[in-house]
Chains A and B, each alone.
Chain A
Amino acid sequence: MILNFFPCLIRYSIFTPLPLFFKHQNLLPLSCSINFIKPISSSSSISAKTIQVPLFLKPPIYSTTILELKKFQNWAKSLSLSIGLKFLNLDNGPESNLLCRELNWLLEDVVEGEEDNPTGFLTLGCSENERLVRMRVEMEELYDLWKQRIEERRPFQYIVGCEHWRDLVLSVQEGVLIPRPETELIVDMVEELILKDKEMKQQGVWVDLGTGSGALAIGIGRLLGNEGRVIATDLSPIAASVAAFNVQRYNLQDVVEIRMGSWFEPLDEFKGKIVGLVSNPPYIPSGDIAGLQAEVVRHEPKLALDGGADGLDDLLNICKGAASFLKPGGFFIFETNGAKQSKYLVNFLNIQMEGSFQYVNSVSDFAGIHRFVTGFRK
Chain B
Amino acid sequence: MQSRGGLLVFLWRRNGIIQKCFHHHHHYPLSSTTPKSSCFSSCNNLFNLRSYSTSGAAEMNPQLSNDLIKIMENRLSAIEHRNIYLQNFMNQPEASPSEYSRANKELRKIRSSMELITQLRAKQKEIDGLKSLIAECPEDKDMHDMAVEELDEAIEEENRIHNLLLKSLLPKDDADERDCILEVRAGTGGEEASLFAMEIFRMYERYSHKQGWKFEVVDVMESDLKGFKEASGAISGSGSFGRLKFESGTHRVQRVPLTEKAGRVHTSAVTVAILPQADEVDVQLRNEDLKIDTYRSGGSGGQHANTTNSAVRMTHIPTGLTVAIQDERSQHMNKAKALKVICAKLYELERSRLHTSRSKLRSEQIGSGDRSGRIRTYNFPQGRVTDHRVGITHHSIDDVMQGENLDVFIDALLLKQEMDAIASFGVDE
Q: Which residues of A contact B (CB under 8 A)?
A: 88, 92, 94, 98, 101-102, 105, 116, 155-157, 164-168, 177-178, 180-184, 280, 282-284, 288, 292-293, 295-296, 300, 304-305, 335-338, 365-369, 371
Determine the distance from Cα of A284 to Cα of B305 in the docked complex, in whole angstroms.
11
| A181-B310, A181-B331 known; A293-B303 Cβ under 8 A | no
Determine the distance from Cα of A267 to Cα of B312 in the docked complex, in whole angstroms.
37
- A155 / chain B contacts, CB cutoff of 8 Å: 306
Distance between B221 CB and nearest chain A CB, rounded to angstroms: 12
- B215 / chain A contacts, CB cutoff of 8 Å: 116
Is there contact, CB below 8 Å, between B304 and A182? no
Determine the distance from Cα of A156 to Cα of B309 in the docked complex, in whole angstroms.
11
Stretch among B12-20, B91-99, B290-298 lining the A interface: B290-298
Give which listed residue, B298, B308, B331, contacts A98 with CB less than 8 A.
B308
0/1 per residue, B318-334, Cβ < 8 Å to A? 00000000011111110
Give which listed residue, A164, A296, A365, contacts B304 with CB less than 8 A.
A296
Q: Closest residue of chain A to B332, judged by CB?
A: A166
Is there contact, CB below 8 Å, between B299 and A92? yes
B33 within 8 A of A: no
- B296 / chain A contacts, CB cutoff of 8 Å: 367
Is there contact, CB below 8 Å, between A296 and B306? yes
Give which listed residue, B294, B298, B303, contacts A283 with CB less than 8 A.
B303
Distance between A159 CB and nearest chain B CB, rounded to angstroms: 11
Determine the distance from Cα of A345 to Cα of B332 in the docked complex, in whole angstroms.
27
- B293 / chain A contacts, CB cutoff of 8 Å: 366-368
Determine the distance from Cα of A276 to Cα of B372 in the docked complex, in whole angstroms.
54
Is there contact, CB below 8 Å, between B297 and A92? yes
Is there contact, CB below 8 Å, between B301 and A167? no
Is there contact, CB below 8 Å, between B304 and A98? no
| A366-B292, A367-B293, A368-B293 known; A164-B307 Cβ under 8 A | no
6 pairs of residues in contact across A and B, judged by CB atoms under 8 Å: A101-B327, A180-B303, A284-B303, A293-B306, A366-B292, A369-B302
- B307 / chain A contacts, CB cutoff of 8 Å: 94, 98, 181
Give which listed residue, B299, B329, B331, B333, contacts A105 with CB less than 8 A.
B329
Is there contact, CB below 8 Å, between B301 and A367? yes
Determine the distance from Cα of A116 to Cα of B332 in the docked complex, in whole angstroms.
20
B300 within 8 A of A: yes
Determine the distance from Cα of A288 to Cα of B312 in the docked complex, in whole angstroms.
27
| A88-B297, A92-B299, A368-B293 known; A178-B333 Cβ under 8 A | no
| A98-B309, A366-B292 known; A167-B304 Cβ under 8 A | no
What are the nearest 9 A-B pairs in CB distance?
Answer: A164-B329, A181-B331, A166-B332, A295-B306, A164-B330, A181-B310, A366-B294, A92-B299, A296-B306
- A102 / chain B contacts, CB cutoff of 8 Å: 308
Determine the distance from Cα of A377 to Cα of B284 in the docked complex, in whole angstroms.
34
Determine the distance from Cα of A155 to Cα of B307 in the docked complex, in whole angstroms.
8
Determine the distance from Cα of A284 to Cα of B331 in the docked complex, in whole angstroms.
23
Distance between B299 CB and nearest chain A CB, rounded to angstroms: 5
Q: Closest residue of chain B to A280, judged by CB?
A: B303
Is there contact, CB below 8 Å, between A167 and B305? no
- A338 / chain B contacts, CB cutoff of 8 Å: 300-302
| A94-B308, A366-B292, A367-B294 known; A335-B302 Cβ under 8 A | yes
Determine the distance from Cα of A94 to Cα of B209 in the docked complex, in whole angstroms.
35
Give which listed residue, A98, A167, A283, A304, contacts B330 with CB less than 8 A.
A167
Distance between A124 CB and nearest chain B CB, rounded to angstroms: 13
Is there contact, CB below 8 Å, between A304 and B303? yes
| A88-B297, A366-B292 known; A292-B304 Cβ under 8 A | yes
Distance between A99 CB and nearest chain B CB, rounded to angstroms: 9
Determine the distance from Cα of A166 to Cα of B334 in the docked complex, in whole angstroms.
9
- A164 / chain B contacts, CB cutoff of 8 Å: 328-330, 333
B324-346 interface with A by 8 A CB criterion: 327-333
Is there contact, CB below 8 Å, between B301 and A365? yes
- B329 / chain A contacts, CB cutoff of 8 Å: 105, 164
Q: Closest residue of chain A to B330, judged by CB?
A: A164
Determine the distance from Cα of A371 to Cα of B296 in the docked complex, in whole angstroms.
16
Give 10 A-B pairs besides A94-B308, A102-B308, A371-B301 with Cβ atoms closer than 8 angstroms: A94-B309, A155-B306, A181-B310, A181-B331, A284-B303, A336-B302, A337-B304, A366-B293, A369-B301, A369-B302
Give which listed residue, B302, B309, B327, contacts A182 with CB less than 8 A.
B302
- A284 / chain B contacts, CB cutoff of 8 Å: 303-304
Between A181, A280, A369, the greatest number of chain B beta carbons within 10 A of the residue's beta carbon is seen for A181
| A116-B215, A366-B292, A371-B302 known; A184-B297 Cβ under 8 A | no
Distance between B303 CB and nearest chain A CB, rounded to angstroms: 5
| A102-B308, A367-B294 known; A167-B332 Cβ under 8 A | yes
- B294 / chain A contacts, CB cutoff of 8 Å: 181, 365-367
- A116 / chain B contacts, CB cutoff of 8 Å: 209, 215
| A116-B215, A305-B303 known; A184-B331 Cβ under 8 A | yes
Determine the distance from Cα of A336 to Cα of B294 in the docked complex, in whole angstroms.
18
Q: Closest residue of chain A to B293, judged by CB?
A: A366
Q: Closest residue of chain A to B310, judged by CB?
A: A181
- A98 / chain B contacts, CB cutoff of 8 Å: 307-309
Determine the distance from Cα of A178 to Cα of B120 in the docked complex, in whole angstroms.
70
Determine the distance from Cα of A52 to Cα of B422 in the docked complex, in whole angstroms.
66
Is there contact, CB below 8 Å, between B308 and A337? no
Determine the distance from Cα of A253 to Cα of B317 in the docked complex, in whole angstroms.
42
Q: Closest residue of chain B to A185, judged by CB?
A: B331
Determine the distance from Cα of A365 to Cα of B309 in the docked complex, in whole angstroms.
15
Distance between A80 CB and nearest chain B CB, rounded to angstroms: 13
Determine the distance from Cα of A323 to Cα of B330 in the docked complex, in whole angstroms.
34
Determine the distance from Cα of A79 to Cα of B253 in the docked complex, in whole angstroms.
36
Q: Closest residue of chain A to B209, judged by CB?
A: A116
- B299 / chain A contacts, CB cutoff of 8 Å: 92
Is there contact, CB below 8 Å, between B332 and A180? no
Determine the distance from Cα of A288 to Cα of B300 in the docked complex, in whole angstroms.
11
Is there contact, CB below 8 Å, between A180 and B305? yes
Between A164, A178, A293, the greatest number of chain B beta carbons within 10 A of the residue's beta carbon is seen for A164
- A183 / chain B contacts, CB cutoff of 8 Å: 302
Determine the distance from Cα of A183 to Cα of B301 in the docked complex, in whole angstroms.
11
Is there contact, CB below 8 Å, between B330 and A166? yes
- A178 / chain B contacts, CB cutoff of 8 Å: 306
Determine the distance from Cα of A366 to Cα of B244 in the docked complex, in whole angstroms.
36
- A181 / chain B contacts, CB cutoff of 8 Å: 294, 307, 310, 330-331
Distance between A377 CB and nearest chain B CB, rounded to angstroms: 25
Determine the distance from Cα of A336 to Cα of B310 in the docked complex, in whole angstroms.
19
- A282 / chain B contacts, CB cutoff of 8 Å: 303
Distance between B220 CB and nearest chain A CB, rounded to angstroms: 11
- A295 / chain B contacts, CB cutoff of 8 Å: 306
Determine the distance from Cα of A88 to Cα of B305 in the docked complex, in whole angstroms.
12
Q: Closest residue of chain A to B312, judged by CB?
A: A366
Determine the distance from Cα of A101 to Cα of B311 in the docked complex, in whole angstroms.
12
Determine the distance from Cα of A178 to Cα of B329 in the docked complex, in whole angstroms.
13
